[in-house]
Structure 1
Amino acid sequence: MAGLRAKPRVGRFGAAIAGLMLAAAPAQALDTLVFSVPEVETGLQASLRAASLLLTAKRDGTTDPQDVFAAAQAEYGRLVGALYARGHYSPVIHILIDGREAASIAPLDAPARISRIEVRVQPGPLFTFGSAHVAPLAAGTVLPQGFATGARADSGLVQEAVVAGVEGWRAIGHAKAAAAGQNIVADHARHRLDAEVQLAPGPVLRFGQLAITGQQRMREARIREIAGLPTGDVFSPKALARSAERLRRTGVFRSVSLTEDEAITAPDLLGISAVVVEEKLRRYSFGAELASLEGATLSGTWLHRNLFGGAERLTVSGEVANLGAQTSGVDYKLGVTLDRPATFTPDTTLSFHAEVAHLDQQDYLENSGGLGFGFGHIFTEHLTGRAGLDYTWSEVTDLSGRAVYQHLALPVGLTWDNRDVKLDASKGYYLEAEAKPFLGFGTTDSGLRLKGDARAYRGFGDQGRFVLAGRVQAGVVLGPSLIGTPRDYLFYSGGGGTVRGQPYQSLGVSVLRAFGDQFKTGGMAFLAASVEMRAKVTDKIGVVGFVDAGHVGAMEFFDTLGGWHAGAGLGLRYDTGFGPVRLDVAMPVGGDTGAGVQVYLGLGQAF
């Protein structure tokens, strides 16, 4: 630790000196390694073993004598650092290479063969803080809880306290705050560490101009608009981080770095330099999912990241679903979306979209098309919102005949997402709510569609080995008649997104026409709940047990025309590094809409 000095006593371990070593003839080395550390406190031995270069070399099968000798000489510093981090400032360390102290062997005398290394560590007494002082501090600064007189003097706490003090000043505009001096003394007689650090806040600064380098196809003016750096406002680390994140989330750049200038521009401006590296213009992606009854779903996307040089993103996506399905035909979808970030505000994205689709379901055929536009806005790191205007036309054919639906919709939604990992969350919440008022034309009724999705995750056990996950979905259509509601606004249950173990959209509502024809359609009220217990077997492999249940009501929740069903099963997960591969096997445990085992294969957790 910089600035550390001992009063009456100096540690009895040798200092490691790096030097040039001559090449030695190849030979086997490190036949025996003995690592001797008394367990004077919980976790100390594990910390030292984790810091050991020699143990790492042994695990990696290193045998070259020069490599082993270099690791032995560097071992002193590694172990001392680990001991300081645990509050032990008077250690005695011996590293014996075939009986000789490694620190006493000159680099040019490196042994040609090493048979045995013995590491002996005496941690020495535990030190506590005498004085623990960082000043001056900005109002509201919170220092680490353990940085206090009488607490264990872990070296890392001093650094954390200094960082907290500096960041406290930076948060209120003192961008050049820094440690101006320190006095850190280890008193070996009293086993005490005195730590006093003086901070220099510096002046309050304002954001200066943004200088940009590295762009090739992006227009510089658009980079400034997207970054939204508040030039002229008081400096804020959060504002600087938000500007960098706005540039990253466009997808245009492979890397983005925003750094503060070293010099201050008179009178009080701090310039910011942005260095960007652009991604390739185009990207292709493909996906596949498989379910036993629904068959295979294939999807693909073509993306242009920077269509007009202003981070305009053009996406063409297609999907073919229900390939080989046992209960329905093949579905097709094709969509085009154009997104423009930083429209009106740096956190607002304007989107235009169009889609055509053909659905061949068990109970009906539908051909549809739609187009619209909308705005997405990022309020905070976790909260996003959206609003838009859509026109949709669809032609539906079922046992009741042919019907044409036309309507305008105004979807408005909010999403709160603080999950730690989107595809494999172990903690946090996901809440989504959407209200969609719609105006029908011709035989299409008008009304309001509401839908919500809530998910929660909690990890427990050693290193979060177990995760309890839950999900609740709900939806309702208010105002129109059942027959006058656009078909894709009605609710069904069953399948991988609602109730596993039950066939896709197997639960709906049976409607009896006056002339005697009976057919199934979706309902105007929907509830579903899922619970999963996830457990890691190894770092890569996990198992899951789950139960799902769903209910569909004809006109309202739990009416006499509605019904419910449930499914349960087991799953296997394999972590690929970018998301787990999911295999679920489920069967019905309630209701009368399904029979037999259902199998689901996809990427990412079920929710």
Structure 2
Amino acid sequence: MRWWALGLCCSLGVAQAEVRLEAPEELALRLRPYLSVENGARRLRQLSADLLATEGYFSPQITLDEAEEGVHLRIDPGPRTRVQRLDIVINGPLSLERRAALLAQWGLPVGQAFRQEDWNQAKTQLLDALLAEDHAGARLLDSLADIDPQQQRAALSLDVDAGPRYVYGDLQIEGLQRFRPALIARYKPGLRPGQPYRAEDVRALVQALQASPYFSRVQAELDLEQAQTLSADESTAHTRQAPLRLRVQEQPIHRARFGLGASSNTGARVEAAYGNIDFLRRAWQLETGLRLEEKRQTFFSDVFLPPTTDGVRYGGGFVAEQSDIEQLRLQRQALGWQRSEQRGRLEERWSVQWQHEKRQPGGQGWTTSRALAPSVSWTWRELDQLIEPRRGVVLQVSLGGGSKVFFSDQNFLRLYGRGQFYVPLGARDSLSLRLELGRTFADARQHVPQDYLFRTGGTGSVRGYPYQSLGIKEGNAVVGGRYLATASLEYTHWLNARWGVAAFVDAGDAVDALQDARLAVGYGLGARWRSPAGPLGVDLAYGARDEALQLHFSLLIPF
């Protein structure tokens, strides 16, 4: 056992008197926070003994020597007490399998060193396991840790009342003013009357309602006081049905939003938006707004329906946009419909979009492109944190296209895939890798809307180059090509809880034929700040192809 000497200052009647502690390293670290200047010599012995007892040392040898310069505290903890006997009684209508599973998960088994923290945690975990499934009224009746300090043995006993099994009764909702109970029913398909109680089901309902646009606060609990025994039948004699009480607070129906901002991609921005979560009094969500940027101006209006009982959500919208980026002027109007569904970690989205586009490259004549394009995309997320991940992966694949037979000016099929990978390196460092591939199958890129072709460069793609400056040269303009490939590798080191630095290298290009591919490389350094809205990044990147520096800034949230 390693020993450790620790010098501290205590109030002993002499200013800044020193307390020198000699104890095994692990124990010294645990004792250290409590041996402060507020502890006098009289209390050190008893305090040390009490703290050692919580770690399972009930027969320590504590020597305390006082001198003018302070106190020398030497601790020999002696042998550690271990669990010799365990007696757990669980009363209630549990199956043999459930009872055996609970006992097998007990956190302080025979032979393990006794610690007060482990004893408390083991009792809590056993009770929580009962409360989480079927037995919402489980309670701890009695517990005892009988310590024999002479033999260093602990005998543990526990008496738990599981109580009856509970199933859901009717849903009782408080706080609804404008919306109907049928809206909430869309979010709770698994919580039907008669279904066994699961705490995870209730948490999922609360989270789903809280994440919806309709409610600002949600609370849910099983009302045990109104529970009723199902029947006198032997199979249900120990089963009670309790209503689920739900308290909600509705969001304001109308919401206006105004904002100012800036982006290294599209310049300064001003925007105004209006939202209505009960459009046409049908709990439809309306979002409409105007966003004015230096390089792009957008008007949009979208309507989203509440989810169906199986979690599917439908929506539709209109967007009108004009932009002037890299000498390419675009005017487009689009009308679309979509169906989205979240299945665990997989998000599936189907859509159909009618798009009318006019483009003018480099001051030349205007060209019109029209397309009716159905598409589908799948996004799979496996992340330790959604906003600021350190470990995990996000993968996205999409497929869409149009045909001359169905109101499109050109036959085309667009395939696109993207992956983002996060790897932690120690406590403060991390590595992220991004890969992006795309191809549009078409006889020619003419009359294919730019949304279905590829340009790259700028924040979020290849840093060191202006936004969407990598693509096909058409006069002095850059237009979309039929092939895309980008990659990015970034290493981040956090200096403290708020600030970090990053080094990165990006590469990529968008071309119209594979033989023209010549990856543009950019690399540089950046600063990272954990803001309330998410991690912000400012990067200074050097583009090797253009031999120029570019400044980029962005909100670093995974797609």
Which TM-score applies when normalising by structure 1?
0.75
Matching residue of 1:572: 527
Tell me, yes or no, if the aligned pair for 1:585 and 1:598 is still in contact at 8 Å: yes
Counterpart check, 1:548 vs 2:506:
yes
Give the alignment partner of residue 270 of structure 1, picking from 235, 242, 245.
Answer: 242
Please report how far the alpha carbon of residue 547 of structure 1 lies from its aligned counterpart in structure 2 after TM superposition.
0.9
Give the alignment partner of residue 193 of structure 1, picking from 154, 172, 175.
Answer: 154
Please report how far the alpha carbon of residue 545 of structure 1 lies from its aligned counterpart in structure 2 after TM superposition.
0.8
Please report how far the alpha carbon of residue 259 of structure 1 lies from its aligned counterpart in structure 2 after TM superposition.
1.2
Deviations 1:177-235 (A, max 9, x none): 44344332222123233323344333332211122223344333323333443332122
Counterpart check, 1:205 vs 2:166:
yes
Matching residue of 1:40: 24
Tell me, yes or no, if the aligned pair for 2:106 and 2:126 is still in contact at 8 Å: no
- Change in Cα spacing, 1:77 to 1:344, as seen in structure 2 (3 Å) is farther
- Change in Cα spacing, 1:133 to 1:470, as seen in structure 2 (3 Å) is farther
Matching residue of 1:332: 297
Deviations 1:502-549 (A, max 9, x none): 1211211246xxxxx796421222121111111111222111111111
The worse-fitting range, judged by mean Cα deviation, of 393-402 and 127-136 is: 127-136
**SS of the residue 1:496 aligns to:** coil
Tell me, yes or no, if the aligned pair for 1:265 and 1:271 is still in contact at 8 Å: no
Counterpart check, 1:238 vs 2:238:
no
Tell me, yes or no, if the aligned pair for 1:146 and 1:152 is still in contact at 8 Å: no
Please report how far the alpha carbon of residue 286 of structure 1 lies from its aligned counterpart in structure 2 after TM superposition.
3.1
**SS of the residue 2:118 aligns to:** helix
Letter aligned with residue 548 of structure 2: G
Tell me, yes or no, if the aligned pair for 1:391 and 1:407 is still in contact at 8 Å: yes
Distance between the aligned counterparts of 1:273 and 1:117, measured in 2? Answer: 61
After superposition, where does 1:112-191 map in structure 2 within 5 Å? 124-125=77-78, 126-132=80-86, 134=88, 137-138=98-99, 140-141=101-102, 147-170=108-131, 172-191=133-152
Give the alignment partner of residue 385 of structure 2, picking from 409, 421, 429.
Answer: 421
RMSD across aligned C-alpha pairs, in angstroms? 3.9
After superposition, where does 1:227-376 map in structure 2 within 5 Å? 227-228=188-189, 229-263=191-225, 264-267=227-230, 268-281=240-253, 282=255, 284=257, 286=259, 288-291=261-264, 295-299=267-271, 301-307=273-279, 312-321=284-293, 323=294, 330-345=295-310, 347-376=311-340
Please report how far the alpha carbon of residue 564 of structure 1 lies from its aligned counterpart in structure 2 after TM superposition.
1.5
After superposition, where does 1:425-574 map in structure 2 within 5 Å? 425-440=389-404, 444-461=409-426, 464-479=427-442, 481-510=444-473, 520-555=478-513, 559-574=514-529
Matching residue of 1:393: 356
Letter aligned with residue 554 of structure 1: D
Letter aligned with residue 600 of structure 1: H
Matching residue of 2:95: none
Distance between the aligned counterparts of 2:442 and 2:279, measured in 1? Answer: 42
Structure 2 residue runs without a partner (length 5+): 1-12, 91-97, 231-239
Which TM-score applies when normalising by structure 2?
0.81
Matching residue of 1:112: none
The structure with the greater share of residues assigned to strand is: 2
Letter aligned with residue 483 of structure 1: Q
Distance between the aligned counterparts of 1:573 and 1:245, measured in 2? Answer: 30
Distance between the aligned counterparts of 2:15 and 2:558, measured in 1? Answer: 50
Distance between the aligned counterparts of 1:495 and 1:138, measured in 2? Answer: 59
Distance between the aligned counterparts of 2:371 and 2:540, measured in 1? Answer: 39
Please report how far the alpha carbon of residue 368 of structure 1 lies from its aligned counterpart in structure 2 after TM superposition.
0.8
- Change in Cα spacing, 1:287 to 1:412, as seen in structure 2 (3 Å) is farther
Distance between the aligned counterparts of 2:159 and 2:350, measured in 1? Answer: 51
Tell me, yes or no, if the aligned pair for 1:411 and 1:436 is still in contact at 8 Å: yes
- Change in Cα spacing, 1:253 to 1:518, as seen in structure 2 (3 Å) is closer
How many percent of aligned residue pairs carry the same amino acid? 22
Distance between the aligned counterparts of 1:92 and 1:262, measured in 2? Answer: 52
Distance between the aligned counterparts of 1:550 and 1:307, measured in 2? Answer: 44
- Change in Cα spacing, 1:150 to 1:489, as seen in structure 2 (3 Å) is same
Tell me, yes or no, if the aligned pair for 2:172 and 2:244 is still in contact at 8 Å: yes
- Change in Cα spacing, 1:226 to 1:294, as seen in structure 2 (3 Å) is closer
Matching residue of 1:62: none
Distance between the aligned counterparts of 2:330 and 2:177, measured in 1? Answer: 46
Structure 1 residue runs without a partner (length 5+): 1-28, 59-67, 100-115, 324-329, 512-516
The worse-fitting range, judged by mean Cα deviation, of 169-178 and 185-194 is: 169-178
Tell me, yes or no, if the aligned pair for 1:138 and 1:168 is still in contact at 8 Å: no
Counterpart check, 1:226 vs 2:178:
no
**SS of the residue 1:357 aligns to:** strand
